[in-house]
Structure 1
């Protein structure tokens, strides 16, 4: 029987996952990384017509997650995943199980998840998370899923695998040194690899992601309008589309705030240079992540002698790579089992 492999990337901004396959193509979905707790399941349980959310039971509470989760937000909507140990939080587990709920599976043989590079270096924390995700999980309304094995991967490593597959260069990449840069919602991650192996001392992450860019602009708008403006998602959409946001019923020009906002990518890249240097020994520089569009200029300025490779769908690059890597690992494990050789917990 073919092993069931699925990948989930619980980011600070969005939870991305592989919902399935159709005609050989991966089907990707995502929803905001917000989980709102309550004591009991409400009328919106399930992916129904009223609200596309589901109530996930974790540690005695019910967490509402899903595409329409903003409709469940209360006045105080804290971003609880904006810290370095976010994968320990019950909200993290609720988001991940929300993704598994959407997959409509009763069993997953191998679940591949992503972590920021700095977190991935904490091997005890990684091992604890893999153990936490292995086993049977309740998904609400009597539904359950069994995860037989969980494997964590550094988030940018998935993008490297996906890039190699899309460019038909996996064999070449295994012989080359690469830099994968992944500006996400909360963290700015980078990974230096020799082939597919991470070089730990040159890889890291810092908390200078798109959240900091948006926060800088939101603070600027608050000062300019003498208000406490806090519409982060509206500003994020405006930056991506180039359209002026409507602030207090009027179109608002963000141009005055962009010079300060662009300092965030410059600061992130400057910190990366302490680890990477001038990248003279690096063959490939690959830019992925939801913040790629805003960080590209700073990255190009730092590495003027390199071509910066971008992927067509950068926000799903990591999770697609996780899926491919998981499929390869599952084949290896099956082959080892067939030959009587049992793999360890951390291949």
Structure 2
């Protein structure tokens, strides 16, 4: 028997999801974790221009989500960066938006992620909320038969092991996985593939803190509040200065502040772990890896900091692999899970 397994990682900054699997190739996509509510289905409103989004109905409102969600935006960026994020309609809209974009009407096992610090408290409730029939709009539904919630960096560990051909060897090794996200800086200590809960945690010191601090510095320099977080993020990723008042702004002036925040996050992590010499693998993943790499290297000067290809999607790729391995056991059938595309 074959199973349809898919994975979604609804982060504070981006929602990542698996679109299809073909052989050993796992294809992923993502969109900003922003959901804009409306009283009416956006496509029937006057002046609507078709864009790459979906409108998900929840509690009498339509939440527009997807790759071009910024085209639906007003001047307020609607984010839900708090500990009850997974309980909000925005979270469910983002999850269902990913399900809609997968174009898979029925999923036997859906793997989702949680920050390390939230795993114990939120795991059961999230798995229950994700299981069942989801209205994705336009009269369409997606049925999720079972759900599995795992710590976000655990997915990255699985992805690293597969990418580097270490699936067997890593079972005898200790690993530290660092995952700087938009809101949280997560770390996971693992023996083999098993999480060491007492040494794994999260702190609310992520990429968004860096972007906000840089925005404040820019505002001070130009003499007016500056809030174009997306422009700062793009500038940091590409190395091209943002244009402000028709002139390039030298963003390198703000990098000491960015580095200081990254150091704070890493310092918090160092208080939880001990005997760093025992780690065979220190793995840096996540969309914010490029902003934290220097601080991590300073903290572990005698280690090689390992990375994966396409670190933004490392967690969700690992979720997919873990789900395909776990599905036969979960359903009590001695068969392999399907990796087939949609």
TM-score range for the pair, normalised by the shorter chain length: over 0.9
CA distance in 2, matches of 1:59, 1:43: 19
Once the two structures are TM-superposed, the CA of residue 338 in structure 1 deviates from its matched residue by 5.4
CA distance in 1, matches of 2:142, 2:236: 39
- 1:142 matched to which residue of 2? 139
- 2:273 matched to which residue of 1? 276
Once the two structures are TM-superposed, the CA of residue 337 in structure 1 deviates from its matched residue by 3.8
- 2:89 matched to which residue of 1? 90
- The one of 250, 255, 258 aligned to 1:258: 255
Once the two structures are TM-superposed, the CA of residue 77 in structure 1 deviates from its matched residue by 2.0
Q: Structure 1: 5+ residue runs without aligned partners?
A: 340-347
CA distance in 1, matches of 2:61, 2:7: 25
> Which structure ranks higher in relative contact order (CA pairs < 8 Å, sequence separation ≥ 6)?
2
CA distance in 1, matches of 2:127, 2:272: 28
Once the two structures are TM-superposed, the CA of residue 187 in structure 1 deviates from its matched residue by 0.6
Once the two structures are TM-superposed, the CA of residue 277 in structure 1 deviates from its matched residue by 2.9
CA distance in 2, matches of 1:105, 1:260: 44
- 1:208 matched to which residue of 2? 205
Aligned pairs for 1:36-47 within 5 A: 36-43=36-43
- 2:100 matched to which residue of 1? 101
- Pairwise CA RMSD: 1.6
**Do the aligned partners of 2:35 and 2:78 also contact (CA within 8 Å) in 1?**
no
CA distance in 1, matches of 2:72, 2:174: 45
- 2:20 matched to which residue of 1? 20
CA deviation digits over 1:204-245, x for unaligned, max 9? 000111101101100000011111110101101111111111
Instruction: Give the number of aligned pairs.
Output: 333
- 2:150 matched to which residue of 1? 153
CA deviation digits over 1:265-298, x for unaligned, max 9? 1000000000113512211100000010110110
Question: What secondary structure does 1:121 align onto?
Answer: helix
Once the two structures are TM-superposed, the CA of residue 24 in structure 1 deviates from its matched residue by 4.1
**Do the aligned partners of 2:123 and 2:150 also contact (CA within 8 Å) in 1?**
no
Identify which range, 32-41 or 14-23, moves more after superposition. 14-23
**Do the aligned partners of 1:44 and 1:51 also contact (CA within 8 Å) in 2?**
no
Q: Which runs of 4+ in 1 moved over 3 A?
A: none
- 2:116 matched to which residue of 1? 117
1:176 partnered with 2:173: yes
Q: Structure 2: 5+ residue runs without aligned partners?
A: 336-342
